[in-house]
Structure 1
Amino acid sequence: MSDQDLPAGPDLVIARASAAGLMIATAESLTGGALVSRLVDVPGASRCLAGGAACYSYTAKSRVLGVDAAMLERDGAVNEATARQMAEGALDAYAADVAVSTTGVAGPGPDGRGVPAGTVHIAVARRGGGTRALVLQLDGDRTEVRAQAVAAALDALARALPKVPATA
């Protein structure tokens, strides 16, 4: 069975990263550490998981991940640029090969800038390979939005990692 038959969850991420000899990292705002927690649940995660930063405040995003403080004040944290800078900051902070970030509005209502609940930005940065970002509009309450964001981030991370060859 090839890993293409597996759901894109934490097991697949760990299997792909381990097989490729890549270190991964997370940078989380919206998900508050839930993403790295899911990865740590997988036996063998220590082979390929460098670490994760849960940076909720603007100050933490800037100090820990190097997100541009002036941009945060001007544009807020729920946007593609912030997601990209968070993922790129995690690459550097953890000396990782691949990093994923989450930022968004879990709800119950819009954020202070009027960004609707359920808006989620995810970015995946690869050392030497650029950064890809996506925006989602998720439905559900705060808990459901956060859980869906974790699942989407795991899927995005899995897609950024080399596939594990099928075994006979």
Structure 2
Amino acid sequence: MNATSDVLDRYRTLGLHIATAESCTGGLVMAALTDVPGSSDVVDRGFVTYTNAAKVQMLGVAQTTLDTYGAVSEQVAQEMAEGALARSDADVAVAITGIAGPGGSEFKPEGRVCFGIAIKDHATATETIEFGPLGRANVRAQSVQKSLDLLLNAADI
């Protein structure tokens, strides 16, 4: 089994549905989930909100949160996850926002990715991972794997 199949099988068994809110991964988590036949009974929808405007318009992220903390922050990841949950029929939503590279800054380096996991009737959890300057493709791939891990762990709550 792989992580994607494990997530889908676990959610199918529990009768739960998934939504995603993705920025730096550009829909790769949703692509991984929907690459598996039969995923439609678990996957509800995905939001690709690459720009700040999309985060505000599609997920309800507060402009003040973006202005205060920046798009790559746990605060924005939290609001993205909560927005995806509120705007879907899902039971669990995962959010990803980060700097895949190249580039970054002294304050927000390449490879910094913030995650949010929102579960109906539970507090939203957030986490930041410093993947480092692994290159764009590797940061995105690691972010997908982390998102799948978060989804799998969320099924146990």
TM-score bracket, normalised by the shorter chain, equals over 0.9
Which amino acid is the alignment partner of residue 123 of structure 1?
G
| Alignment partner of 1:31 out of 4, 25, 35 | 25
Long gaps (5+) in structure 1? 1-5, 164-168
Superposed, 1:64-103 pairs within 5 Å as 64-103=58-97
Which amino acid is the alignment partner of residue 93 of structure 1?
R
| Alignment partner of 2:37 out of 25, 36, 43 | 43
TM-score by length of 2: 0.94
Q: Are 1:119 and 1:135, in contact at CA under 8 Å, matched by a contact in 2?
A: yes
Deviation at 1:87, TM superposition (A): 0.5
Residue aligning to 2:130: 137
Long gaps (5+) in structure 2? none
Q: Percent of counterpart pairs with the same letter?
A: 41
TM-score by length of 1: 0.88
2:31 and 2:8 map into 1 onto residues whose CA distance is 13
Larger RCO: 1 or 2 (CA < 8 Å, sep 6+): 1
| Alignment partner of 2:6 out of 9, 12, 29 | 12
Q: Are 2:69 and 2:75, in contact at CA under 8 Å, matched by a contact in 1?
A: no
Q: Are 2:101 and 2:136, in contact at CA under 8 Å, matched by a contact in 1?
A: yes
2:87 and 2:11 map into 1 onto residues whose CA distance is 18
1:18 and 1:30 map into 2 onto residues whose CA distance is 27
Residue aligning to 1:3: none
Q: Please give the per-residue CA displacement for 1:7-28, whole angstroms capped at 9, x wherever unaligned.
A: 5x11111111111001110000
Which amino acid is the alignment partner of residue 33 of structure 1?
G
Aligned-pair RMSD on alpha carbons?
A: 1.5
Aligned length: 156
2:66 and 2:89 map into 1 onto residues whose CA distance is 24
Which amino acid is the alignment partner of residue 63 of structure 1?
Q
